[in-house]
Amino acid sequence: MTYYKLLFLIFFSFLTGFSQKSQQAILIEQRVDSLLSQMTVSEKVGQLVLYSGSWDVTGPPSDLGNQKKLDNIKKGKVGAMLNVTSVAGAKKLQKAVLDHSRLKIPLLFGYDLIHGFKTIFPIPLAETASWDLEAIQNSAGITAREATASGINWAFGPMVDISRDARWGRVMEGAGEDPFLGSKVAVARVQGFQGKDLSDPHTLAACVKHFAAYGFAEAGRDYNTVSIGAYELFNTVLPPFKAAVDAGVASVMSAFNELDGIPTSAHKELLTGILKEKWNWDGFIVSDWGSIVELILHGYAKDQKEAAYRAINAGNDMDMEGRVYEKHLETLITENKVAIQLLDDAVKRILRVKFKLGLFDDPYRYLNEKREQSEIYTQENLEAAEDMALKSIVLLQNKNNILPISKKVTSIAVIGPLAADKDTPLGNWRGKAEKESAISLLEGIQEILPKSTKISYAKGVHLGLGERSFTNELTLNRTDDNGIEEAVALAKNAEIVVLVIGEEAFQSGEGRSQVSIELTNPQKKLFEAVQKVNKNLVVVLMNGRPLAIPDVAEKAPAILEAWHLGSRSGNAIARILFGAYNPSGKLPVSFPRHIGQVPLYYNTKSTGRPANAQGMVFWSHYTDERNAPLFPFGHGLCYTSFTYSNFKISKETFSKKEKITASVKLTNTGKVAGKEVVQLYIQDLFGSLTRPIKELKGFELVTLNPGESKIVSFIIDEKLLQFYTANKKWEAEPGDFKVYIGGSSYTDLVQKFRLTDL
Ligand code: NOJ
């Protein structure tokens, strides 16, 4: 941009009342252009290179040693680092750039911030169960504060992949199966990370991932092929990314998977066509770990040079640990195979974020030892983690109101492989958490109950065996059931039993797909044996994915879904068990009865044969299992009861220019105060493409005292009814709709309306 053009723009901006933000953006563009004009091709390529430090290993390391990496940093051949997680470490590298490289372009420091930095929050799937966007934003905000106090200025999160497959280990990292809820949560997390001002040293640049359709891996096997069509891509997969882009997300990570024959890390239509052009987004794209060099293994590039060529041409701006841009981009430019404008565009996108972060004004702005000592793992942050955990718990079942347990209980047996576990609640992406640093449920119960209560504990059976880590395979105990007898003896003599079973922390997460989503055999045996001797039984589940537990649901009166809840897991669960907190979580994923039902999701299509006809087999069903889930999307109970009445819509026919209101009276008909997530679902009855039987289109958290009522209303307008139609655009089609309101996706409280063109 020329000097005069800039002056004109600034003048114009004053005249038209441009905000300060826009003026800042103009200034940043000018600084980006000016810096770019001074850069050599080699320095430009350098900005596209992302190395991992050896502090933390979150992927297969490249063959380049630390010393060589440092040498390249000094030469200005590296733009960003990941997995450098201390101020001292980051300072050393930032100083290397500033002391030795010609243009002194500060490094970005990226890290996976999935559910906390050192203070660990519930896994993202669990947080989503709160449906509490403010709390989710706060959790991301605290994570950003802790990470930035440790030198990180770029979060590899939020993960916004919609998934309907419980076999896929990474369901724990996302917001579940629904694109509407997923979009809201994506925005909350981006805003939590980025705050209002990226140059505030307590905020950092976010990175939504994995673009795109990574959650639709065939057979739920991680990194596997994806072959969904345009309908699913636009209506289900892309909405959370689009929402994050609209919220100003600074970066996007391309995925490992191919999509219908093209690896997403070199998918021009996705990366350039949709993300950069159609959505007019000016952030930068980073590949996932090695996903550019993996184009060769995909069979999409014959060698590293071709991989670099394909990825940069597709619009992938930065190469994470793949080392193909660093090796081949300069040559590709010299040989005129890659246009310099393409390289310039990538560099500009990266520099723009560095300017926005304020790194050029002060490259050490995130590198403050005092903050590192005082702002991480504070009492206040731990309390926030506990609050989030309370909100994330879902009461799945509570027959005869066995919960909450009275604190006057005289004896309680706390049983199960996860009952005293201080590590599993930390979950899979536990950042810098100390091993074994979570409060176990046993500890939580001991803390909350009077000293006089007899609390007995038995592990019953082992779950994970031997060494456990983020990177290596986990061995599960599949046969040894030696401790069951001891557990049964305790269960027999206790007034009530709390049985804590489920999944190890490292059963879900990256590379942790499973063909079974049932409990391990020894846990099943333990459950059977315990429930035989004591019917006063509460099952607490800890898991990172939906589990198929039909037997538990049949025989245990109460089931509490406690996921992997983070640092203060035990305190939060205990408070709910003993009624100090009324649970309010609702499932963000359907829980199947059987693995054979997967992929299972509430917003399914009708099919041409949805219902049993004349007792014959010719309808869409299984002959050996029901179609329905064990627990549906949106389901969750509490210690009070809510009734819905007076469901009304303000007008039955309305045009695209109008809006209507759907309202309902919610009453707390129970004996204690409680919170309900009121959910709005819509069905578009006929479309240019077939439509789901129900789609979440709104929700509101309502807290009511006993006897209290509130009218809850939702606005329905043309925008809310849009989908990606046969015309290949987002629009609402005139026609008939049903609208449902209730406390889960299984609500049948229904009204009808018609949308007209005029
Ligand atoms: C691979 C994962 O897929 C991605 O989510 C993560 O951000 C990178 N590794 C870096 O750790």
| Same domain flag for 574 and 456 | yes
Q: Please pick, among 161, 165, 178, 288, the residue that the annotation labels catalytic.
A: 288
Give the CATH number of the domain where residue 498 resides: 3.40.50.1700
**Main-chain phi, psi angles of 663, to 5 degrees:** -135, 155
Query: What's the length of the chain?
Result: 758
CA distance 66 to 62: 10
Residues 157/147, Cβ–Cβ less than 8 Å: no
Residues 435, 572, single domain; the answer is yes
| Residues 620-676: tens digit of each pLDDT | 999 999 999 999 999 999 999 999 999 999 999 999 999 999 999 999 999 999 999
User: Where are any strands of DSSP class E within 536-641?
Assistant: 537-542, 558-561
Identity at 400, one-letter amino acid code: N
Pocket test for ligand 1, best of 111, 156, 223, 224 (most atoms within 8 A of CB): 156
Q: Is residue 31 part of a domain?
A: no
Starting at the earlier edge strand, list the strands of the sheet with 709-717.
Answer: 642-649, 659-668, 709-717
Has residue 677 been placed in a domain?
yes
- Ligand 1 centroid to Cα of residue 69, in Å, is 20
Token pair of 460 as six digits: 């019953």
The token duo for 422 is 């201080």
CA 323 to ligand 1 center in whole angstroms: 16
Ligand 1 cavity residues, CB under 6 Å: 58-59, 82, 112, 156, 209, 288-289, 510
CA 224/CA 217 separation, integer angstroms:
5
Per the structure block, which two tokens stand in for 730? 């987002």
CATH number of the domain that residue 728 is part of:
2.60.40.10
Asked if residue 102 is part of any domain, the answer here is: no
**Of all atoms in ligand 1, which is nearest to the CA of residue 159?**
5
Q: Are residues 549 and 431 in the same domain?
A: yes
Give CA–CA dist 661/700, Å, rounded: 14
482-509 mean pLDDT: 98
Beta strands in 71-215 (DSSP E): 80-82, 108-111, 154-155, 207-211
Residue 135 inside a domain? The answer is no
Same domain as 531, residue 461:
yes
Q: Of the residues 112, 193, 428, which should be mutated to test ligand 1's pocket, given the most ligand atoms within 8 Å of the CB?
A: 112
Residue 356 CA, ligand 1 centroid: distance in Å: 24
> Is 757 tagged catalytic?
no
By three-state DSSP, how is residue 460 classified?
Answer: coil
Indicate which atom in ligand 1 lies nearest the CA of residue 256. Answer: 3
Residues pairing with 262 in the sheet: 259
What is the rounded distance in angstroms from the CA atom of residue 600 to the CA atom of residue 594? 10
Specify whether 516 is located in the same domain as 393: yes
The pLDDT of residue 8 is above 80: no
How does pLDDT run across 587-635, given as a tens digit for each residue? 999 999 999 999 999 999 999 999 977 889 999 999 999 999 999 999 9
Strands of 154-155's sheet, edge to edge? 154-155, 108-111, 80-82, 49-52, 319-320
Q: How many domains does the chain contain in total?
A: 2
Residues 556, 660 within the same domain: no
Q: Is the pTM of this model over 0.75?
A: yes
290 found inside a domain: no
Which atom of ligand 1 sits closest to the CA of residue 214? Answer: 3
Q: Which atom of ligand 1 is nearest to the CA of 157?
A: 7
155 contact partners, CB below 8 Å, separation of at least 6 = 110, 111, 112, 113, 143, 144, 147, 193, 204, 205, 206, 207
Of residues 459, 441, 598, 633, the one with CA closest to residue 518 = 598
Residue 455 and residue 569 in one domain: yes
- Contact residues for 96 (Cβ-Cβ < 8 A; gap 6+): 70, 73, 74
So what's the pLDDT on residue 11?
A: 59
The pLDDT, as a whole number, for residue 125 is 98
Residue-wise pLDDT for 63-106, tens only, equals 788 899 999 999 999 999 999 999 999 999 999 999 999 999 99
CA of 249 to the centre of ligand 1 (A): 17
The residues, any chain, with a CB within 8 Å of residue 332's CB and separated by 6 or more, are 305, 308, 309, 312, 338
Query: Dihedral angle at the C-alpha atoms of 721, 726, 728, 731, nearest 10 degrees?
Result: -20
- Of 577, 593, 609, which residue is a domain's last? 593
Indicate whether 565 and 650 sit together in one domain. no
Distance 661 CA to ligand 1 centre (A): 43
- Full domain range(s) for residue 466: 377-593
**Which pLDDT score is estimated for 61?**
77
573 and 654 share one domain: no
Average pLDDT in the chain:
96
SS3 141: helix
Nearest residue (CA) to ligand 1, atom 3: 288
What does the pLDDT average to over 682-711? 98
* Residue of 168, 253, 508 to mutate, ligand 1, most atoms within 8 A of C-beta: 253
Residues in a beta bridge with 662 = 649, 714
Average pLDDT estimate for 291-298: 98
Sign of the dihedral through C-alpha 563, 565, 571, 575: negative
| Residue 381 and residue 498 share a domain | yes
pLDDT tens sequence across 191-217: 999 999 999 999 999 999 999 999 999
Ligand 1 centre to CA of 82 (Å) is: 10
**Strand, helix or coil for residue 43:** helix
Across the range 691-699, mean pLDDT stands at 98
